[in-house]
Structure 1
Amino acid sequence: MDLTTWPQISTINQKNYYTEYLKRDDQILPLRLIQEARRSVLADKMISRDRDRNFPQANDPDADGQDVDMDDEGIDDGAEVESDQDISGSKVIVIHPGSQNLRIGLASDALPKTVPMAIARRWKNSESEEDGGEPSPKRRRLDDGTQVEHSKMFGDDFAKQYNQMCADLKIHMRANKRRVLPNSKELIVNYNKRAPPDEIPTHNDPMQIDWTEIPKDPKNAPGFVCGKEALRIPDNSNPRYKLFWPMKHGWLNEADYKSKRDLYEDFSTIIEEAIKSQLGLRKKRDWGQYSCVFVIPDLYERDYVTSSLDMLMRDFGFKQVSLIQESLAATFGAGLITCCVVDVGSQKTSICCVEEGLCIENSRLNLKYGGADVTETFIKMMLFDHFPYEEIDLRRRYDFLLAEELKAKVCTMNEQDISPQLFDFHLRAFGQDTRKYNFKTYDEVLLAPQGYYEPALFDTSEKLKGRRKLIGPSRDLYDDSYNDPTSAAQSTVIELIAPPLPTNGHTNGDGANGTSTPAGEKKSMNLLPKLAEAGRASASAVGTPAPDDDDTAMPAEDEKAAESVMAPSLRDDVLPVMPLDQAILTSIYQAARGDERKMREYVEKIMVIGGGAQIPGFHVFLEQRLKERRPGWAKDILIGAPPRELDPQFVIWKGGSIFGKLRSSSDSWIGRMEYDRLGARLLAYKCMWAW
């Protein structure tokens, strides 16, 4: 007898099995909403046309009864009929977060507002007082605490490399028939040694800094301060405030936080305060009337994108949100269709080839160096040559701003400007009289920016500190595999500097004798000397183009090997750095996939943007380096700046504002109702790239 009265269902015949589940657009919520909106708009247009026919007006151009061509009416493909204010961008907020600065503004604005991506929170010590007050850049000290001589201040390796670069530059200048004084370096060193500062009383200094006032009563002191005001809090304030940067080196800054929640809270707070202070939207309940265009990196991390989307939709309550990649936004801002975008930021440099409104996935590169590394290297070189302000510490807020000012003022990549030159600056510290310093420079102003082409010059020892401490790599929901996006170009960089693959049962950190490498050494890898040698070589590993004219395709087995090194266990332990000129050619090679016509098309349209590329002569120097690597393309290589005299720092934001005003971009908007139902799964239908 059967144990149940429920009927038994026979097995499905697999030969005749068929289903239409999720095979039609009307079965997918995001696509169905778009279709319904289109029908609704079309119905409204037809009702309006019939009304005009029945009640013609004297000034109506269609009063004669002619049919209106619906294709010419500019029917919106979006979810709603937009008003004139929405079309003009006055109800669209464009947000572009970076490691150092946040660009934010309405799409109707000509230029964005720039806010430091920093927040100061009440803390027991300021950032300059932690770790025993050790200055940055770090300088060697003897056992008794006294500082070593200047020639060994930053170690023998730095001294050797710096002296070698000075000698190479002198030889290069003589070969180009430029005048070189034999004792130029000695002249500036001797001058800087005996250049005491001049003190200026406070009442005689018209350029005094407006410091952020902190109430003397700690109970009335704010819990946090954001933006420019945070950078102007005195380091010795009472109570103390510590400066936090939620983004660092193009990643979320896991090293300085103890929990993931605190990290995302600071990230959200900075953007929220910027909307209130810079855009004047003080009441959060009004934000539901606004749409938001959020700019994300080309080579993004899924957790960052999904968390940011959740913040914009749930915490901020925007009406709808759209995501756009940085390089694609740059082409919108510059008005280009096909180009190779080189974005040199403060702490990262990204490269990507764009064609017909799409980022070429295999061409995406994210290198972990930028303008901040040039600033630190410049200060190290000046201290090496007896900079008169020897107490400079980039962890102090006013010294950090001073160093950025000096870099922008004196650094250059024009060889004809290399000569002993006299400069001055004013040091303004809280509670102290202003001090005026005079100093001389020689080749430091050019050698520091040359770190873009000699990455071994930059200090990268702590850039992987705290990596994956709070946020792990994204995993697929079904097979639990890692699904953060990768690219063949990024794989090439990792393959070039990665340690040898495990052999004979040893791990990547094992030495030849079978001993394990300490954890700290394993993360740093000490691979920059190897990278520098590879950068000078005529050819490089795994598909990186050689400097001759032979264009050979990457073998299939080598391409698979390049992809295999992107496993998270290795990818997160290797810092991607490569000479800038070599990285650009690598990106172009992967975008063209061996097609010489395509490669020439990209090298003719290289657009350099970002604040880190604003050094005088940067474009000319980069163009010359590329021509030296590819002499056969010397007539084709062209480095261009953004058109329309647009500031290179604002090109990406400007592209986001243009994108936010386009009717054709409506398919990428994520509404609140569909996000509440589907969450981040919507990105598979709403992104303009393969999510």
Structure 2
Amino acid sequence: MVGKKSGRAQLREEGLERTDNNLDLTTWPQVNMINQKNYYTEFMKREDQYLAFRAPQDEQRARMVREARDKDRALAQGILTEGGNVAVGDEPMDDVEAPILSREDYPSKLIILHIGSQNLRIGLGTDALPKTVPMVIARKWKESESEEDGGEPSPKRLKVDGAVPADAFPEKWFGDDFSDQYLAMSSALRVRMRTNKRRVLPNSKDLVVNFNRRTPPDIISEHNDVNRIDWTELPSDPTKAPSFFIGNDALRIPEQSNPRYKLFWPIRNGSFNEKDYTNRNQIYHDISKIIEEALRTQLGITRSRDLANYKCVFIIPDLYERTYVTTMLDILIRDIGIGKVCLQQESLSATFGAGYSSACVVDIGAHKISICCVDEGMCIEESRINLKMGGADVTETFIKMMLYGHFPYADMNLKRRFDFLLAEELKHKFCSMEESSVIVQTWDFHLRASGQDTRKYQFKTYDETMLSVMGFFTPSIFDHTRKLEGRRKVIPRSVDLYDGSPNDPTSLAQIAIIEAAGGKALSVNGTQETPNGVAVSTPQRAAPLNFLGRLNDNENTPRSSIAGSPAPDGTSTPNPDRDTPGMGDTDQPTIFRDPVLEKIKLADERDKVLPVIALDHAILESLAQGARGEDRKLRDFFGGIMLIGGGSKTPGLGAFLETRLRELRPYYGKEILVGPPPREFDPQVVIWKGGSVFGRLSLNGNDSWISKSEYDILGSRLLNNKCMFAW
């Protein structure tokens, strides 16, 4: 029997005895295990952990310290008394306050910038009205824009064997389609005027044609023309000519100049002009040059290093493209060198300028119409609409109708600079939506071209002045053939960083407009309205506009699976996924789909459709999506429809639109009210004025300012935290 061993002996014999000297086996720090039962962290859960929030707080703290230090220094030097008043000698002046604020916080250091397709409006926070500069740059080129395409004019004439026939009548210049639509609109206008007890003469058109056909122009020598134009002068040596001109100087360059110059408009339809550019960098540099020259000539900021002390409120479209916003932000901060930039949407800025809390803003610009409902200082995202038509289409259609009526200046070409300016002048003077103006009237105008004597023309008009603006309600009369040309050719679509799907913002109202423009009818008060304005009667009463059922993401009731249901055994029911060419193996039906690829295909299909429908139907769609079924809110929006933009200055347009809306929505006849901005504001500058008001209210207490130091670190990722709207 073996005796019992002690514990010490067992440790020694079995090798379990500890023989080290209590020293660590390694000098590498030991990390203890995490207690999984009570695990907690504050990482990225506080605002002070975000650079976008921490930097403004640090700047505010540094500014307060600097102000206190400056005040103490002033007290020590005897400039200020203990009460904060300025002292002169031994007696303080109580009516003078101490200049405590930093100079960069004054409104004189605030720039408001609103870029449109045709004009750039820029000004300081202390300006009552902005400076307007045409958004155009003229660069040296091998030929001018009027000489391109073999000198083909605009509006385009119908050609036979590559040339316009000499004996062709003006009624045949623009094709049978335009002629039929013009005559149909003219006939409908006469019926409307007779219904409204207006006198309509049967031979009015014949009077206009006969007068215009036989009236020659009067020649006025240049020294007798008191309103002659000062053209842009070029040096006699072509090698010393400037490489570019900006704004009005570019529009006043003679057509046959030596060297030749070509006009470039970098912005079209609220985004970049990809039709006339072949390089993204060229668009980038042209916009930079236009803004830099506007800052230098209009605001007097001649030194680039001074711009670091300025802040800029940049106004963007409501339904923007991400690439447009990030590119413009990069131009302002990195290329031009502005210290801080804040982004503001157009419709929200318009309500700031007008002093409204809730409104439906209809902005009629040169190349786009923007519609958006604003409620309590926020743009309702699903109500945003962008129509690709505007005042430029009215100008072209007005000239077409004038030429159709044997306009005495039959050689008008909108590609020529002086003809373009003349057409804009004629539109502003003579176009009207008032039925009282639809009479035979005699007008005159002066044609001034570089190197030619001034010619005075007399002409008569009848219904062209109204029917051209009626194109907003019958958009098929406009020429849309080249508006989608070059789309996505130079600048690609913005995509998500992780899955590559398109991430440009859209809205239910815009989706409905695209579907309607693609051929699907909008239900309006018991009739189906097609995109060209032809009504098709329906037997049942139409329900309120609601397009929520078209998108899966906005439905409360889930739909069935995207996978097709299997067919019963022994039947020959076709499977669309299997039988469609290019959808996989014919023996095995497609079960899984790539959602990213579907989004890309859907975005490509939408890009192929031009969003253009009648203006009154687009407003009703925006109102329906903005109210979202609330009758009280819908009535508020109906009573606050505000027309802004250059196209809204047409006399009688607001009253005519109001009448059309009441005809489509008779149940809200008393609530519908369409009007211009209050306090006799110019509709063209109300957006800029709202940006000025917003910038002056938020110089210190606004977290939406993007500084250069933050932008250098985070880039456009800052917009997720800096924008007051959903980015």
TM-score by length of 1: 0.86
Distance apart, 1:171 and its partner CA: 1.1
**Cross-structure match for 1:24:** 46
CA deviation digits over 1:400-427, x for unaligned, max 9? 0000000011100000111000000000
CA–CA distance in structure 1, aligned partners of residues 537 and 255 of structure 2 = 49
- Structure 1 residue 320 and structure 2 residue 356: aligned? no
CA contact (8 A) 1:294 1:323 kept: yes
2:711 to 672, 675, 679: 675
- Structure 1 residue 35 and structure 2 residue 28: aligned? no
CA–CA distance in structure 1, aligned partners of residues 442 and 258 of structure 2 = 39
Distance apart, 1:537 and its partner CA: 5.2
CA deviation digits over 1:238-295, x for unaligned, max 9? 1100000001122200111111001111111111111111111111121112111111
**Cross-structure match for 1:109:** 127
Q: Secondary structure at the match of 1:598?
A: helix
- Structure 1 residues 58 and 125 mapped into 2: Cα distance closer, same or farther (>3 Å)? closer
CA–CA distance in structure 1, aligned partners of residues 532 and 639 of structure 2 = 27
- Structure 1 residues 48 and 233 mapped into 2: Cα distance closer, same or farther (>3 Å)? closer
1:355 to 370, 375, 392: 375
CA–CA distance in structure 2, aligned partners of residues 587 and 565 of structure 1 = 25
- Structure 1 residue 191 and structure 2 residue 235: aligned? no
**Cross-structure match for 1:518:** none
**Cross-structure match for 2:688:** 653
Q: Residues 256-295 of structure 1: matches in 2 within 5 Å?
A: 256-295=276-315
CA deviation digits over 1:190-215, x for unaligned, max 9? 11111111111111111111000111
CA–CA distance in structure 2, aligned partners of residues 14 and 573 of structure 1 = 55
Distance apart, 1:604 and its partner CA: 0.6
CA–CA distance in structure 2, aligned partners of residues 585 and 574 of structure 1 = 21
Amino acid at match of 2:158: R
CA deviation digits over 1:588-609, x for unaligned, max 9? 1111111111111111111110
TM-score by length of 2: 0.82
2:221 to 190, 201, 205: 201
CA deviation digits over 1:561-615, x for unaligned, max 9? 9997993211211111111111111111111111111111111111110001111
Distance apart, 1:44 and its partner CA: 7.2
Q: Secondary structure at the match of 2:684?
A: helix
- Structure 1 residues 142 and 46 mapped into 2: Cα distance closer, same or farther (>3 Å)? closer
Choose 1 or 2 for highest CA Rg: 2
**Cross-structure match for 1:531:** 531
Aligned pair count reads 633
Q: Secondary structure at the match of 2:319?
A: coil
Q: Secondary structure at the match of 1:130?
A: helix
Distance apart, 1:556 and its partner CA: 2.9
**Cross-structure match for 1:100:** 118
**Cross-structure match for 1:644:** 679
Distance apart, 1:115 and its partner CA: 0.3
Distance apart, 1:553 and its partner CA: 4.6
2:108 to 87, 90, 113: 90
Distance apart, 1:216 and its partner CA: 2.1
Specify every segment of 5 or more residues in structure 2 that has no aligned partner in the other structure, as ranges.
Answer: 1-26, 86-99, 521-528, 556-597
CA contact (8 A) 1:339 1:607 kept: yes
**Cross-structure match for 1:78:** none
Q: Secondary structure at the match of 1:597?
A: helix
Distance apart, 1:33 and its partner CA: 2.0
Amino acid at match of 1:361: E
CA–CA distance in structure 1, aligned partners of residues 519 and 39 of structure 2 = 51
Q: What fraction of aligned residue pairs are identical, expressed as a percent?
A: 56
Q: Secondary structure at the match of 1:351?
A: strand
Distance apart, 1:631 and its partner CA: 0.5
Amino acid at match of 2:440: P
Q: Residues 452-531 of structure 1: matches in 2 within 5 Å?
A: 452-498=472-518, 530-531=530-531
Distance apart, 1:233 and its partner CA: 0.2
- Structure 1 residue 118 and structure 2 residue 141: aligned? no
- Structure 1 residue 621 and structure 2 residue 641: aligned? no
**Cross-structure match for 2:726:** 690
**Cross-structure match for 2:152:** 134
Distance apart, 1:498 and its partner CA: 2.6
- Structure 1 residue 556 and structure 2 residue 549: aligned? yes
Amino acid at match of 2:653: F
Distance apart, 1:10 and its partner CA: 11
Amino acid at match of 1:635: K
**Cross-structure match for 1:512:** none
CA contact (8 A) 1:495 1:565 kept: no
CA–CA distance in structure 1, aligned partners of residues 71 and 554 of structure 2 = 62
Q: Secondary structure at the match of 1:90?
A: helix
Distance apart, 1:186 and its partner CA: 0.6
CA–CA distance in structure 1, aligned partners of residues 487 and 36 of structure 2 = 49
CA contact (8 A) 1:158 1:457 kept: yes
Amino acid at match of 1:93: I
**Cross-structure match for 1:381:** 401
Amino acid at match of 1:281: I
CA contact (8 A) 2:158 2:174 kept: yes
CA deviation digits over 1:343-401, x for unaligned, max 9? 00011000111111111111111101111100000000011111110000000000000
CA deviation digits over 1:658-689, x for unaligned, max 9? 11111365211111211111111111111011
- Structure 1 residue 143 and structure 2 residue 178: aligned? no
**Cross-structure match for 1:504:** none
Amino acid at match of 1:584: I
CA–CA distance in structure 1, aligned partners of residues 536 and 348 of structure 2 = 32
CA contact (8 A) 1:547 1:631 kept: no
- Structure 1 residues 340 and 559 mapped into 2: Cα distance closer, same or farther (>3 Å)? farther
CA deviation digits over 1:296-354, x for unaligned, max 9? 11111111111111111111111111111111111111111111111000110001111
**Cross-structure match for 1:64:** none
Q: Residues 382-421 of structure 1: matches in 2 within 5 Å?
A: 382-421=402-441
Specify every segment of 5 or more residues in structure 1 that has no aligned partner in the other structure, as ranges.
Answer: 62-80, 501-528, 541-545
CA deviation digits over 1:545-572, x for unaligned, max 9? x997x54654534676999799321121
CA–CA distance in structure 2, aligned partners of residues 564 and 144 of structure 1 = 43
CA deviation digits over 1:27-55, x for unaligned, max 9? 11111123334555666788899999999
Distance apart, 1:649 and its partner CA: 0.3
Q: Secondary structure at the match of 1:267?
A: helix
CA–CA distance in structure 2, aligned partners of residues 184 and 633 of structure 1 = 37
- Structure 1 residues 219 and 552 mapped into 2: Cα distance closer, same or farther (>3 Å)? closer
- Structure 1 residues 183 and 335 mapped into 2: Cα distance closer, same or farther (>3 Å)? same
Amino acid at match of 1:625: R
- Structure 1 residues 665 and 199 mapped into 2: Cα distance closer, same or farther (>3 Å)? farther
CA–CA distance in structure 2, aligned partners of residues 589 and 539 of structure 1 = 21
**Cross-structure match for 2:444:** 424
CA contact (8 A) 2:545 2:621 kept: no
RMSD, aligned α-carbons:
3.0
CA contact (8 A) 1:104 1:113 kept: yes
- More contact order relative to length (CA 8 Å, sep ≥ 6): 1
2:392 to 372, 377, 400: 372
- Structure 1 residues 531 and 126 mapped into 2: Cα distance closer, same or farther (>3 Å)? same
CA contact (8 A) 2:501 2:599 kept: no
- Structure 1 residues 392 and 277 mapped into 2: Cα distance closer, same or farther (>3 Å)? same
- Structure 1 residue 339 and structure 2 residue 359: aligned? yes
CA deviation digits over 1:44-101, x for unaligned, max 9? 788899999999957569xxxxxxxxxxxxxxxxxxx843x55551001111111000
CA–CA distance in structure 1, aligned partners of residues 366 and 261 of structure 2 = 24
1:224 to 238, 244, 253: 244
